[in-house]
Structure 1
Amino acid sequence: MTPRLTYGAALGMLCVIWGSTWLAIKIGLEGAPPFLSASLRFVVAAVTLLVLSAVLRSRLPRGRVEWALVVFYGVLLFTVDYGLIYWGEGNGVASGLSAVLFATFPFQTAIAAHVLLREERLSVQKLAGIALGFGGVLVIFRGQLVTASGLAVPMLAIVLAATCAAVANVAVKRWGHDADPVSFNGVAMGTGAIGLAVVSLVAGERWAAPSWPAGGGAILYLAFAGSVVTFVTYLWLLKRIEVTSLSYIAFVIPIVAVSLGYVAGNEVLDALVLAGAGMTLAGIWFSTSKWVTAGVHRAFS
């Protein structure tokens, strides 16, 4: 399999799995409070990855810079980012709307990359493609946006979660060249899980075994499929392609979420949903197309 096909298959897998995790988080919150649920998810994932790291003899972080990076990544992404997501969904934001709000991630990633990565500068092409892609997501979830009154703070929390994820990923892109996807994520998730446990205690959440199957089943799915598989794959891709291009999966994830909802009988695929999906995919193509890049260069040269 060529590198291009390998990357495409990995991206497709991420979109399918992460497209299902928004609903899984919502289901899991029926059986455990937000911060405890998130902490347990990353405890299971961290233990799994650290055991796998020992078996594979993966390279652990070394030196102050790498340890500072892994702790920064763990706290910002797994404690703050996921803490905000779980709290937002636990306070009334629907899973589909959460995916829409998190779709600000590519725009925020592009800005962070422009500041921190010399090789990934903002361009008219990127901005136009991101705007088109996000517009498509808004079209798909137009109904949920209209009915989301009174949820300003939880919605803002999920937008801020996207900010944290953007900064964390760009930081790893810049300083994490030697990071091993398995061991790095294992340590980072362990750090994040500890942070979430502290937040859970401070928030006064009741610690008890998650209900089954809602709480426990969702936590296991989110730990193994939604964390171990996805974040190892994501970090592997992050070392090989542009962080901004990789962030575009946040546009595809809502489409996958709607498609899964349609299969389950909970969503309707009308003409506007299909048009929105087309806009989103067109935006991704526009942002990454070499043909468009060449045309823009000719137009402004």
Structure 2
Amino acid sequence: MSRATTTALFLLLGLLWGGSFVAIEVGLADFPPVLFASFRFYVAGAVILGYAAVSTDHWRPRRNDEWLVAGIAGVLLIGGTHAFLYLGVPYISGAVAAIVISFSPVLTAVFASVLLDDRFTGVGVVGFACALVGIGLISQPDPSNLLSADVVGVGLVFASAVFWALGAVLTRPFRTEMPVQSLQAWAMVIGAPLLHATSIARGESMAAIAWTPVAVGTLAYLGLVAGAVAFLIYFELLDRLGAAEINLIGYLEPVAATGLSYLLLGSLIDLPIVAGFIAIFVGFALIKRDAIREVVLSVAGADDA
């Protein structure tokens, strides 16, 4: 695969996953939030599991540690992450939610330093503080109204980022032989029923769904396009680029979400939110400066070749 093709796929993946935030925002007009999330992963999980079954002979967990890592991924990366994300988007726009979610890699580094004894330097502390300033700029809390819609929405999506980061760290120590497509599939297969059970516990009902063409379209996009197709692109890029470079996709998604939100919904984000996103990215760059340097050098080396 040429570098141009790899770059095109990287940009396409950022566009597809960035578009998912806009699709969530639109689809929530017709779906109860957590039930909507469960339907998304029923669809995506079935497709990815089918792909795993035909692409590898190791399509299901075989040992206890493989079941454990699939369970952690299902509960935290799929269940917890998306329950809070879908609960938060009704309070804030999908574009703003994408920016808050970009805090996840920063939290991942912090959790790794606490739980896995990864090195966290003074520069990393400065980066974390910078990223927290970014969250403050996005939520813009008013001391006289700490339960405003913006603060509640940012808080819920921030909880989503916490679940994602914690899941990413807790699955890291497991060095199983299960292919990534199989792990992703089983995480969805486990996470979707958990989301469905949570929706029932919250009192959400199938009767509340308005099966409009827009509802069907957003569900199809999230389950098939942003779910199945995007993950197939992700698997290809992960093999081509490695984890360090592919993780930078998290900072392309908010840009794509913001552009699509403006084009499709006419929504614009204000300057404090832009400043918040920049602060989060700067914080991430300070924390992960060594990994970013390696990515830049690898790209420069590929271009020279």
TM-score w.r.t. structure 1 length? 0.77
Mapped contact 2:22–2:260 kept (Cα < 8 A): no
CA offsets, 1:192-238, max 9 Å, x none? 11111111222221214651222221111011222223345556666
Q: Does 1:38 align with 2:42?
A: no
Residue in 2 that maps onto 1:192:
191
Shift of 1:104: 2.0
Segments of 5+ residues of structure 2 without an aligned counterpart are 298-305
Residue in 1 that maps onto 2:87:
87
Residue in 2 that maps onto 1:16:
15
CA offsets, 1:146-171, max 9 Å, x none? 89961344432211110111121233
Mapped contact 1:31–1:210 kept (Cα < 8 A): yes
Residue in 1 that maps onto 2:75:
75
Give the counterpart letter for 2:119 in structure 1: R
Give the counterpart letter for 2:105 in structure 1: P
Residue in 2 that maps onto 1:63:
63
Give the counterpart letter for 1:150 in structure 2: S
Counterpart of 1:289 in 2: which secondary structure? helix
Q: Does 1:97 align with 2:101?
A: no
The aligned runs of 1:1-301 (5 Å cut-off) are 1=1, 8-60=7-59, 61-90=61-90, 92-117=91-116, 121-124=119-122, 126=124, 150-151=148-149, 152-208=151-207, 210-234=210-234, 241-242=242-243, 246-264=246-264, 266-268=266-268, 287=289, 288-289=292-293
Mapped contact 1:108–1:163 kept (Cα < 8 A): yes
Mapped contact 1:58–1:180 kept (Cα < 8 A): no
CA offsets, 1:22-55, max 9 Å, x none? 1110111111111111111111111111222222
Residue in 1 that maps onto 2:303:
none
Write the distance in 2 (CA, Å) between the matches of 1:236 and 1:50.
16
TM-score w.r.t. structure 2 length? 0.76
Mapped contact 1:251–1:280 kept (Cα < 8 A): no
Shift of 1:10: 4.8
Distance 1:89 1:17, change over 3 A: same
Q: Which moved more, 1:217-226 or 1:108-117?
A: 108-117
Counterpart of 1:186 in 2: which secondary structure? helix
Residue in 2 that maps onto 1:297:
none
Mapped contact 2:35–2:195 kept (Cα < 8 A): yes
Mapped contact 2:30–2:210 kept (Cα < 8 A): yes
Distance 1:154 1:58, change over 3 A: farther
| Percent of aligned pairs sharing the same letter | 28
Segments of 5+ residues of structure 1 without an aligned counterpart are 294-301
Task: Give the count of matched residue pairs.
Answer: 287
Shift of 1:281: 6.5
Distance 1:275 1:41, change over 3 A: closer
CA offsets, 1:72-112, max 9 Å, x none? 1111121111011111223x222233223222212101112
Counterpart of 2:188 in 1: which secondary structure? helix
Counterpart of 1:107 in 2: which secondary structure? helix
Mapped contact 1:69–1:172 kept (Cα < 8 A): yes
CA offsets, 1:272-297, max 9 Å, x none? 8887777776666663235999xxxx
Residue in 2 that maps onto 1:299:
none
Write the distance in 1 (CA, Å) between the matches of 2:238 and 2:112.
13
